[in-house]
Amino acid sequence: MRGLTLFLMLFVNDLFEPGVPQWLVHTKAETDGMGLADWVFPGFLFMVGMSVPFAIDARRKMRNTDINILLHILIRTVSLLIIGVLMLNSTRISPELTGMNRFAWAIAMYVCVFLIWNQYPPRSRFRNVFLAMRWLGIAGLIVLAAIFRSGTPESPGWLITGWWGILGLIGWGYFSAALIYLFAGKRILTVVIAWLCFLALNILSQSDVYTLPEGVQRIFGVITGGSVPTITLAGLVAALIMRRKSLNSMQVFLTLVISGIICLAAGFILRHWFIISKIQGTPSWGMICNGISFVLIALLYIWVDVMGKTSWGKPFEATGKNSLTTYLAPDIIYYLCWGLSIPLFFYKQEGNTLLAVGGSLVWAFAMMGLSGLLSRIHVRLRL
């Protein structure tokens, strides 16, 4: 499912909005509704939450202490926040003040990210070379951050956290789910209570019931807003349902479907007070997306795990295993084509819907293939 959501993310992110049907693209912030693109990101967040029990339990089997795991969670979260902020600011750069072309700055930033967080082959005779490459990436990011400037000569600016970017949101969602599972473990009732608390926090924040100091809001606003943790914790609950040994396959399926129906009902009930809006992060949108994800993972569970229909999903499985590489590598191609004026994206046309949609589908499949190719030559990002 993670591979499927990544494929859809590549597809909808590439769509040329004026040339495709509105139900495929993001709905405007003030519009009550959602399209396919408005589910894709929360679908991935749901999978972030689902992966947490498997990842933490795997580390415990390797005899990692909870302190070691907590340190890993913090490092992984900070890494995602750093990359997210850099990606967010790559569109704000002032070439005149920075002294560097914005496309060149962005490409250099992505190259440094790959140098730092690539999973180099273990026990290689080139270990020292790989270590030097990692330090080169760190030095490069420091330099790029130091020279970065935005704004105007009269009012120059520097890096901002803003809304943290997509990877930053994933980082905060992962942080919330991982901390709760680290301390709550397999106690599903405790996790459900935490999930409902974040849902309540989302409702209260959208109702303007409380305000936090600006500094706290700027840093921890994603968590205090409740929207992102509500989605990742839904995924965590789904994983705990699937791993519950007291349930047989049909009981797991039915529990997931019923959970999805409850989430969908809650979302449409909340719609009476909050519009469905991804941009605003409303609780109605979040719960409807959770409902879709619960039902989808239930259907895939029956189709793949129970019925053994796995061959169709091999390309998506490979993509899901290299999710960060799959997500970031296309951006380098975008910036290269824009900077060098390469007409690769000729299919982005307003007057030809079939070409616009078909071109983005081909792009998504091509980027999945690129991720697989990069994996074969040991280019795999791991945090």
Taken as a whole, the chain contains a residue count of: 383
Dist CA 71 CA 64 (whole Å): 11
Residue at 204 is within a domain: no
CB atoms inside a 10 Å sphere around CB 287: 27
Residue at 86 is within a domain: no
- Distances 137 to 68, 78, 224 between C-alpha atoms, Å: 25, 16, 33
Q: What is the pLDDT of residue 78?
A: 97
Q: Tokens representing 149?
A: 């400037």
Dist CA 313 CA 183 (whole Å): 34
Residue at 172 is within a domain: no
CA 188 vs. chain centroid, Å, equals 24
Closest listed residue to residue 343, CA positions, set 357, 359, 329: 359
- Domain limits for position 349: 1-30+316-383
Residue at 211 is within a domain: no
Q: Count up the domains in the chain and report the number.
A: 1
In the chain, the amino acid numbered 273 is W
Residue at 309 is within a domain: no
Q: Bridge partners of 150?
A: 93, 157
Residue at 170 is within a domain: no
| Strand bridging mode 156-157 / 150-151 | antiparallel
Residue at 249 is within a domain: no
Residue at 151 is within a domain: no
**What values do phi and psi take at 381, rounded to 5?**
-75, 130
Half-sphere CA count of 164, side-chain side, radius 13 A: 21
Dist CA 181 CA 237 (whole Å): 10
- Distances 370 to 9, 317, 340, 364, 381 between C-alpha atoms, Å: 15, 14, 20, 10, 14
**What values do phi and psi take at 150, rounded to 5?**
-130, 180
Q: What is the pLDDT of residue 124?
A: 82
- Measured at the CA of 374, the angle between CA 53 and CA 104, to 5 degrees, comes to 105
The reported pTM is 0.95
**What values do phi and psi take at 71, rounded to 5?**
-60, -40
Residue with tokens 């989808």: 296
Q: Bridge partners of 157?
A: 150
- Distances 34 to 26, 28, 29, 107, 283 between C-alpha atoms, Å: 7, 9, 10, 32, 13
pLDDT, tens digit only, all 383 positions of the chain: 999 999 999 999 999 989 999 999 999 999 999 999 999 999 999 999 999 999 999 999 999 999 999 999 999 999 999 999 999 999 999 999 999 999 999 999 999 999 999 999 988 889 999 999 999 999 999 999 999 999 999 999 999 999 999 999 999 999 999 999 999 999 999 999 999 999 999 999 999 888 888 888 889 999 999 999 999 999 999 999 999 989 999 999 999 999 999 999 999 999 999 999 999 999 999 999 999 999 999 999 999 999 999 988 888 988 899 999 999 999 999 999 999 999 999 999 998 999 999 999 999 999 999 999 999 999 999 98
Half-sphere CA count of 117, side-chain side, radius 13 A: 22
116 conformational bin, left if phi > 0, alpha if psi -120 to 50, beta if neither: alpha
Residue with tokens 């895939």: 300
- Distances 66 to 70, 181, 182 between C-alpha atoms, Å: 6, 11, 7
Residue with tokens 């890096």: 159
Helix (H) or strand (E) holding 373: helix 353-376
Residue with tokens 């796995």: 310
Q: What is the pLDDT of residue 166?
A: 95
**What values do phi and psi take at 118, rounded to 5?**
-70, 145
- The DSSP symbol for 17 reads G
